Amino acid sequence: MGSRAIFVVTFALLTGFASAQQAPPPAPRLADGKPDLGGVWRPGDIFLIEDLTLGLKKGDVISLKPAAEEAMKRHLSKDDPEANCLPTGVPRHAPYPWKIIQNSTYYYFLFEGNIHSFRQIFMDGRKHPKDPNPTWYGDSVGHWEGDTLVVDSVGFNDKFWFDFVGHPHTEQLHTIERYTRTDLNTLKEEVTIDDPGAYNHPFTIQASHRLLPGGELMEYICQENQRDTQHLVGPAGRP
Amino acid sequence: MRTSFAGLTVLCALTTTANAQWLDLPTKGIPRTADGKPNLAAPTPRTPDGKPLLDGLWVADDSRHLANLATDLKDVPFQPWSEKLYNERRANMGKDDPEARCMPQGVPKVNTLPYPFKIYTTPQAVVILYEMYYLHRQIFTDGRLFPKVFESPSWMGYSIGRWEGDDFVVETAGFNDQMWMDTFGHPHTDALHVTERFHRKDFGHMEVLATIDDPKTYTKPWSATIKQHLLPDTELLEFVCEKNLDPQHLVGK
């Protein structure tokens, strides 16, 4: 009888512990009540790295315009700007950690690798410039919708590819990223890609990032030892 | 020599564009005179705990230290091998400067560039974002010490910072041995230890006293004072060093 009671208590403790493990702590919050997105993250899946179509929101399809379809067919892996030490652009990620730092005016995304660079997001209510210089990371302004950080970006150059398989874009690209920290360990990202120059209609990709607790960015300088593109043969594709 | 001076001339010429680089965008929180112009002589801003706040967009006053970090010195305390290498680099017109291959400038050269950098204080680190090559650097202020072993020597090193009075003192070690400390090519080894003292004199002016301690390369430590000024009403632009096609034209002697 006594041992059974102990068993029951032990079982309850174990299952309690197990369920505590299954339910991570909630997302922390800043002093102003907004979710704290700060931390070192790593991409939790390959949708924004290798192939956008793997992360398409249910019901969405990617419909390329003829010129974009032609460009995609022409793309060879060795010509992927990311493989040539150039920025990934938006919303593409490299498979390396990245870090969010934040205050009320600026959010910065710091990238460990490929390339060791950053994005700046203006949170003070300013608008996009009327005629922005085309850049790899574009011009990004952000605001909160409830607990979701919404980042709106325009002003991109047309150089980067969205993924390993070579989805292209034009300077008409407009991205809307929605970041929600659903618990301590998880940052959900939903990004809508609107580029009437390359796609027949907008589409949305859903991806996630995982917290790297205690992690820190290292220095990855892609240009330092870039001898790989000679080994990349054939059309753009997943490894 | 001519080539490196030509490079410098280009950099100097670009400084003016860097100073007027963004649209009309008034930066919030900048004290202004009656006519609305930024008052760069206003007092140093401070955090609630009384420490100077370094945040803002800064750029070096001139390119003297970019050309020659030892410009303030009469004699550089070279070790024999480093003087030889330095003279070779000068004679070779700086053709092997890693910066020409899009490599990071390293510390403290990164404070001497004619492109702005932004200081951004966070609870655990002071972060510096550099327009040139669009690099970032974290100076940890959470009380950590250097790791016992630098397993991954890097261009920008590993930086920890602390306050001494009104000076933000940054110690950096863990470098690789690849960077050039300036355009003239002052060398260093992985024994390099850099101390930077950031002193914001008033709202619009800051001095960075950089001390170079690398006993393998120099017989004693030496210093450079790099003057900086605030760039109001502007922001960082994106400067990606993109497959630089120019190094082939740097032919050397």
Summarised one tens digit per residue, pLDDT across range A72-104 is 999 999 899 998 899 999 999 999 999 999 988
Note the helical H segments in chain B. 2-19, 64-67, 80-91
The angle subtended at Cα B142 by Cα B235 and Cα A42, nearest 5°, is 65
Structure-token pair, residue A231: 């080994």
**Residue A200 in 3-state DSSP?**
coil
Q: Which amino acid is at A121?
A: I
The answer to whether the beta carbons of residues A190 and A206 sit under 8 Å apart is yes
Q: In this predicted structure, what is the pLDDT of residue A232? A: 77
Across the strands, what pairs with B212?
Answer: B194, B222
* C-alpha torsion sign, points A151, A157, A158, A161: negative
Chain B positions touching A221 (Cβ under 8 A) are 103-104, 154-155
Chain B positions touching A86 (Cβ under 8 A) are 240, 242-243
Q: The pTM is what?
A: 0.89
Summarised one tens digit per residue, pLDDT across range B215-237 is 999 999 999 999 999 999 999 99
Judged by a CB distance cut-off of 8 A, whether residue A96 touches chain B is: no
Alpha carbon B18 to its chain's center? 16
State the best of A85, A121, A123, A221 to mutate against chain B, taking most chain B CBs within 10 Å.
Answer: A221
Distance between CA A18 and CA B235 in Å, rounded?
A: 49
Across the strands, what pairs with B163?
Answer: B168
Specify the range with the lowest mean pLDDT, choosing from A24-33, A219-228, B78-87.
A219-228
Residue of A nearest to B132 (CA): A117
Residue of B nearest to A39 (CA): B124
Q: In this predicted structure, what is the pLDDT of residue A128? A: 95
Summarised one tens digit per residue, pLDDT across range A186-229 is 999 999 999 999 999 999 999 999 999 988 999 998 877 666 67
Q: Which helix (H) or strand (E) holds B96?
A: none
Judged by a CB distance cut-off of 8 A, whether residue A186 touches chain B is: no
Distance between CA A123 and CA A109 in Å, rounded?
A: 13
Tell me whether the omega of the peptide bond preceding residue A91 falls within 30 degrees of 0, making it cis.
yes
Residue of A nearest to B100 (CA): A223
Q: What is the DSSP letter of A24?
A: P
The answer to whether the beta carbons of residues A96 and A215 sit under 8 Å apart is no
Judged by a CB distance cut-off of 8 A, whether residue A192 touches chain B is: no
Q: In this predicted structure, what is the pLDDT of residue A17? A: 46
Closest approach of A181 to chain B, Cα-based (Å): 20
Q: Please choose, from the candidates B90, B36, B98, B246, the residue with its C-alpha nearest in 3D space to the C-alpha of residue A224.
A: B98
Q: In this predicted structure, what is the pLDDT of residue B245? A: 60
A–B CB contacts, 8 A cutoff, strictly below: 68
Q: What average pLDDT score do residues B131-152 get?
A: 96
Q: Residue A86: which of B129, B135, B242 has the nearest Cβ? A: B242
Q: Which helix (H) or strand (E) holds B225?
A: strand B222-230
Answer whether A219 sits within 8 Å of B240, measured CB to CB.
no
**Residue B137 in 3-state DSSP?**
strand
Answer whether A103 sits within 8 Å of B122, measured CB to CB.
yes
Q: Please choose, from the candidates A70, A35, A82, the residue with its C-alpha nearest in 3D space to the C-alpha of residue A211.
A: A35
Structure-token pair, residue A96: 């390396």
Across the strands, what pairs with A102?
Answer: A107
Specify the range with the lowest mean pLDDT, choosing from B9-18, B41-50, B70-79.
B9-18
